[in-house]
Every structure is written in structure tokens, then in C-alpha cells.
Amino acid sequence: MRTYIFILLTASALSYLITFWIARLAAAHGWAKREGDDTSGHGIPRLGGLSVFAAILLSLAAAVLLRNMVTDFLLAAGKPGIALAVACLAVFFVGLYDDLKGARPWQKLAVQIAAALALYAFGFRVDILSNPFTHTPLALGWFGLPITVLWLAAISNAFNLIDGLDGLAAGVGMFAGVSLFLLAALGINVFVAAAAAAIAGALLGFLPHNFHPAKIYLGDSGSLTVGLALGALSIVSEQKGPVMVTMAIPILIFGLPLLEVAVTTLRRLLSGRPLFARDEDHLHHRLLKVGVAKRLAVFVLYALAALFALSSILLVNYSGSVAPLIAVVCGALAWIVVAQMRYPEFTELDAHIRLALSSQPAVLRNQIAIRKAIGEMQSAASAQEMWTCLSGLLELLGFAQARCEVRTANGDVVSEFEWEPYAGSTAGTGLPRSSGYRQDSMWALEIPLAGSFGSSGLVRIGHAFDRRAPLFRMQSLVELISDTFGPALMASLKESRSATPLVAPAPLAAASLKAAAGVRR
């Protein structure tokens, strides 16, 4: 344990000193901004990853000089340790290039995937998943490769996504490093424990310079590298260490970053935005928008990350019947946190689901009525019967007014129909109806009708604003009027060869509506 403490303290001291030196050096040489930054930028360097990475490597190298049992295990790690260092170095350099010049998202992702493939080849892989409730192992075989790559890329990018407030990514990474260290130390996994202690110590020494107001940022070189290293350490199999006792433990260790990834991905899919587009709607941004101060927002997220980390440790010690309860409580907590962020995407999704669940029976009934009306119109013997059928359907669907006109090529009206529901009708809405709606109190839909020899028509239907939302698919009604009612009406009027306007008297319309409504009900 003394060697682990030495690594942690050495990494912390080195990180603090190197960060102090780099911050002053960057300010003196104008490295505070990368190419393409706005001239009104804050001028804070993004080179914190350089000091963190250097502190990790130097502290582990210093520990090897002690020559004890822990360092012997470190030296015995051999190829896996070198593979982890090389993979992190590749991601570090692409992150550093992004901090100084600006890299495209696909360039960073390509390097992350290449690093993940290299780590998989040297034993950092997800071979077995275990159910957190039954602990039944599931061998993945070749499916372990895409799952490993997905896991490493997700964790690496997760820390990059949460690096939006001073001290947030570094603090969350420190909690994750401490959790991995404790779990590995309890399971006597020397390599994971030593590496996790070095990461946690380096982030601890970096934090004094990164708290609000920050003197230096972790940058992509720091957040991407720390995420990859922690993600790789967390998937050491049970045969090589007890870190991944169940599938839920690494998920809980990185609970906050993974929650950020899940929320960001889902809301961008819902809104149709590119997955790699930058925005100001991450969890920490939403906390600021709901009125939480910057420092308080960081500590709130610290508390959440610490709670997830503590849950991962409890899941190891209480892996029996208590494990499902811990997982459920953490899931419920994550749901509550997201709900308090008031995301418009999730608010609308919730409203859409609630409306769909409550209105689907009525929508189904109305869609059936529309299909039945198509058959009735096709078998109608006259234009008046067609109009009676259509007006009865509009009554059922909750409309307040309808009018149809057919004109010749010269613009003369040759046929005209009007309809309004009779007073006291409640069909289709559950609300009392009355005629005489004001035109400014309803919305209207106009559907053109095309006939032969230049004749044309127009159906105008109105729906009151104070009614409930239409519980049917509007496209179905439009297609019925334009594709079924329109052609049948034009053909019927052509056969009758009547140039006299045919206006349905109000008493007749009301009588036919009563009959039609009676049939439908």
C-alpha cells in the first residue's frame, strides 16, 4: 500500500508543478488559443493534458526504482503495459493536435479506434459479460472485439463531452481513478491499482489550476487520454483481476460520463442533429441554464460521480440480493437528474408518448371510420349522398364547418354544398356543439379538386381552436377528399349535366347528419 501512496503523491506533486510551469510557458509564448479561435476568446491554454500525461508516466517510472513486490509486478506486466502506454500516446497526440490546430471529429475517432484495436490485441478486451442480477457469465467470442472498441471509444469521448466546466472532467476522472484503484487493490491487481493511482494523483495535482476561474484547461489531449486509460483498466477480465466482477461495475464507475454520452446521443437523434455537432446542451450546460452557479454545478456533478463510484464498490461487497437494488437505485437517480435538466427533446418525447397511449383507441376508431367512408362514397348514387357521407364523417371527426364548391372553366359555380353540425351534437369529441362558429376562432384546411374540361372544385373544412387535437391521421382525410370524394363528385355532376347550383338546405343537412350519425354510432 505504501508504494501505491507513493505513486499517487508523486503523480500529484509532479502534475501540480508541471501544470504551473506549462500554464506560464503557454501564456508567455501565445499558446493559449488554437488556430481558428475567435479573437475574443478567453486566452486560456488547453495544454493540461501534457502535464497530466507526463506526471502519470514519471510517477510510474519513479515507482519502478523502488524495487519491491509492487514494482516487480509492474515490470512483469511487460507488453500489456507498453501497449497501454503507446495507445494512450497516440490518442494524446491527436488530442494535442486538436488543442493547438483543431482536428476533425472523424480524425480523432479513427485514432481512438486504432488504439482500441491495439489494446484488444494485447489483452485489454471484453471477453465475458456477467449479468448483474444472476451473475451468469456470457462468453462473447468474436463479438468481444466490437464491444471492446465501442466501450473504449465511448469512455474516451465521454470524458471529452463533460469537459465543459472548470474542473469537471478532471474531478470526475479522479473519482473514477480512485474507484478503480480501490477495487484493484482489494483484488490484488497490482498493474491496475498502480496505474489507477497514478491517474488519480495526476488529476488531483492538476485540479488546483483547473478550478473556476481556470488557469489552464485539460483539453482533448487530457480528456481523451484519461478516458481511454481508465476505460482500458476497467475491462481487465476477472482472470486478470477483479475489477470487472459484473457488467454493472464499470458502468457505475463511469456513471456520469456514460450518462452524458447517452443523453447527448439520444437528444441529437431525436432532434435530427449530427452526432458530432457541438452544442451548449450538455448536463453541465443545463445546470447553468436552470440557474445553478458554476462552482455549485461542478460540486453537484462531483457528488453524483462520487455516488456512482461508491455504488460500484458496494456492488462488489454486496454482490448478492442487494446488487439489483443498488443498480435500480442508480438508474432511478440518473432518470431523476435528466428529468430535472428540462431538455425540450425529452419533454416533447414524453408528451408524445403520453398522447399516443391515451389517444390510440380513438385514433384507431376514426381511421376505421375513414376507411368505411371510402366504401360508402364509392357506392353513393348521387352527389348529395356523397356530401352527406362526407359531412357525417366530418361530424364524427370533430369538425365545425365544411363547404364545397365546383366551378366551370369560366369560374361559374355549378354546384355548392354547405354543412355545419346541428346544435347539441357531441359526436366524436365528447363536447357539446353549436353552429355559428366565428371564422377567427377556427383553423381551416382547403383541398382542391380537379375535374375534366377545365372544371375545378374546392373543399374547405374548419375545426374550432377550442377543440381537442384531431385524433386521426390528417393525411388519410386529405387523401379521401382528393382521391375518392373529388373524382366521384365530379363524375356524378358530369352525368347529371345540371347547371343549376345544388345547395343543401339546412333542415335537410341536419336531417341527413342525424341519420348518418345514427348509423355510425
Instruction: List the one residue out of 316, 190, 194, 330 whose CA is nearest residue 258.
Output: 330
Average pLDDT, the chain: 80
Alpha carbons 404 and 392: distance in angstroms, whole number: 14
Closest CA to 399 of 446, 442, 356: 442
**Which residues, including other chains, have CB under 8 Å from residue 256's CB and lie 6 or more apart?**
162, 172, 283, 301, 304, 305, 308
The C-alpha cell 489507477 sits at 196
HSE, side-chain direction, 13 A CA sphere, residue 37: 19
Distance CA 330, CA 324 (A): 10
Percent of the chain with pLDDT over 90: 28
Q: Where in the chain is the domain with CATH 3.30.450?
A: 355-520
What are 163-183's pLDDT values in tens digits? 888 888 999 999 999 999 988
Q: What pTM was computed for the model? A: 0.69
How far is Cα 30 from Cα 521, in angstroms, rounded to an integer? 79
Q: Which of 130-139, 213-222, 225-234, 288-297 has the lowest mean pLDDT?
A: 130-139
pLDDT, residue 521, reads 32
Q: Which helix (H) or strand (E) holds 403?
A: strand 401-407
CB 7 within 8 A of CB 204: no
* 250-277 residue pLDDT tens: 888 888 888 888 888 888 888 888 777 7
Residue tagged 347539441 (cell numbers) = 424
- The confidence score (pLDDT) of residue 403 equals 92
- Residues 383/492, Cβ–Cβ less than 8 Å: yes
Architecture of domain 355-520: 2-Layer Sandwich (3.30)
Judge contact between 4 and 185, C-beta under 8 A.
yes
- Look at residue 432 in the predicted model and tell me its pLDDT: 35
